[in-house]
Structure 1
Amino acid sequence: MAETTRRGLLIILSSPSGAGKSTLARRLMGWDPTLSFSVSATTRAPRPGEVDGQDYHFIDDSGFRSLVASGEMLEHAHVFGNFYGSPMGPVAKAIDAGRDVLFDIDWQGAQQIQKSVLAPHVLSIFILPPSIAELRRRLEARGQDGQDVIAKRMQKSWDEISHWDGYDYVLVNDDLDATEGHLKCIIEAERMKAAQQPALMDHVRKLQSEFEETP
């Protein structure tokens, strides 16, 4: 059988801050260079060095609202006075071309995407920490935030963890290498699902035709 063309996956990774989601996402990108991050749209002004279409799609407020109203945003949120969201067009194009797109988003964004027209191609994975004490230790080990910010992140973490059961897979990240291995296995298996391989039907019809022609 010739290589079967597959549909791409829309891969969602979610977790409380400090559970290892961003590190795992970077590792996945290194493992498979064909994986791409979804480039978000935002109404905030570009920061020095940011490139439109690479770091973000920078659009004005009215343009963003228009995309939301027309159903062209997979998910969106209003954060600190600005809108952020994931345009559907580039993601749908990638999926149709057989390329997987990675999303590093929270449970609210995940729920919106799971209700979108691209839901059949969504693979959602939630990353849990091994313990709350370890979650705090990892946040402190970063050395990026003060104790007040860490306290806010910890306070928010329970709300995020409480939505774990809305995902296809849930992994406890007590060992980074092992969790990375589990993620790879999940992605490889999901890629092989019949629903992701539209050319299979033509191959089955071909087999049926050959069978009927066999004396």
Structure 2
Amino acid sequence: MAETDMHSHPGKSRPDLERRGLMFILSSPSGAGKTTMSRMLLTADEQVKLSVSATTRAKRPGEIDGVDYHFVSDAQFDAMIEKDEFYEWAPVFNYRYGTPKGYIRKGLKDGQDFLFDIDWQGTQQLYQKDQQDAVSVFILPPSLPELRRRLESRGQDSQSTIDDRMSRAQAEISHWAEYDYVVVNDDVDQCFVKVREILHAERRKRTRQTGLIPFVRELMG
């Protein structure tokens, strides 16, 4: 059933009930499909926005502050950590990246969904700060040989880099049981269908349907 038809009635059209947004987390080892799934989801679903991180690195040509990243100084980043303003943050190649709470929380209250393309450590931090709004999906490769084949087919990394990614992949896979959902990406299109099904189902959870109470009161007269 189409989402917009959920509350249709003969002779009367009713829009979707108000709901609280969610933080939709996708994680996977490098090459297993996390970034591909994220791009497909952002293209196919207008209700999802990519979470915009704060970063201490300099703005690159063509990047827009507040769209690509929130660009801040080291001192500003330190102050945000001190004030506990991040859901999660981590150092990456001599810079720091973090997810600001205020922007996300306002969006969630307004029914906005946010997509997080992060690793298991970032996922743990998000859960510690706001488990009720987080939904996590871990994407597994069909096999380690297939994962290596995908990494090699990119033609971007040296053999030593691929070996390093494969070593890290096994460590990352060991955290699969910490996620709400696990999907095997043996076919990109089928994997995407499963990821979208998870998102649609989570949007319909009773606890996120903030408009249910007034709706049911109206039904009961």
Query: Which range, TM-score by smaller chain?
Result: over 0.9
TM-score normalised by length of structure 1: 0.92
Alignment-derived partner of residue 105 in structure 1: 118
Alignment-derived partner of residue 176 in structure 2: 164
Q: Tell me, what secondary structure is at the counterpart of 1:115? A: helix
Q: CA deviation at 1:32?
A: 0.7
Alignment-derived partner of residue 126 in structure 1: 138
Q: CA deviation at 1:206?
A: 3.0
2:159 counterpart of 1:147:
yes
Indicate the larger mover: 26-35 or 97-106: 26-35
Q: 1:68 aligns with which of 72, 81, 84?
A: 81
| CA displacement, residues 128-159 of structure 1 (integer Å, 9 cap, x when unaligned) | 00000000000111111111211111111111
Q: CA deviation at 1:114?
A: 0.6
Alignment-derived partner of residue 213 in structure 1: none
Indicate the larger mover: 104-113 or 50-59: 50-59
2:205 counterpart of 1:193:
yes
Structure 1 runs of 4+ aligned residues shifted over 4 Å read none
Alignment-derived partner of residue 147 in structure 2: 135
Q: How does 1:36-55 map to 2 (within 5 A)?
A: 36-55=49-68
2:32 counterpart of 1:19:
yes
Q: CA deviation at 1:65?
A: 1.5
Indicate the larger mover: 59-68 or 101-110: 59-68
Q: CA–CA distance in 1 between the matches of 2:87 and 2:192?
A: 26
Q: CA–CA distance in 2 between the matches of 1:33 and 1:142?
A: 29
TM-score normalised by length of structure 2: 0.90
Q: Tell me, what secondary structure is at the counterpart of 2:218? A: helix
Q: CA deviation at 1:176?
A: 0.9
User: How many residues align structurally?
Assistant: 208
Q: CA deviation at 1:9?
A: 1.2
Q: 1:85 aligns with which of 98, 102, 113?
A: 98
Indicate the larger mover: 121-130 or 88-97: 88-97
Identify unmatched segments of 5+ residues in structure 2. Answer: 1-6, 8-13
Q: Tell me, what secondary structure is at the counterpart of 1:177? A: helix
2:44 counterpart of 1:31:
yes
Q: CA deviation at 1:203?
A: 2.2
Q: CA–CA distance in 1 between the matches of 2:23 and 2:65?
A: 22
Q: CA deviation at 1:205?
A: 2.8
- Report the AA paired with residue 124 of structure 1: S
Q: CA deviation at 1:193?
A: 0.3
| CA displacement, residues 10-66 of structure 1 (integer Å, 9 cap, x when unaligned) | 000000000011111111112112311011111111223222112211101121111
Q: CA–CA distance in 2 between the matches of 1:21 and 1:156?
A: 15
Q: CA deviation at 1:183?
A: 0.8
Indicate the larger mover: 43-52 or 5-14: 43-52
Indicate the larger mover: 128-137 or 199-208: 199-208
% of aligned pairs identical? 51
Q: CA–CA distance in 1 between the matches of 2:214 and 2:82?
A: 38
Q: CA deviation at 1:121?
A: 1.2
Q: Tell me, what secondary structure is at the counterpart of 1:55? A: coil
| CA displacement, residues 64-100 of structure 1 (integer Å, 9 cap, x when unaligned) | 1111221210100112221111111221122111111
Q: Tell me, what secondary structure is at the counterpart of 2:80? A: helix
| CA displacement, residues 113-134 of structure 1 (integer Å, 9 cap, x when unaligned) | 0111x32111100000000000
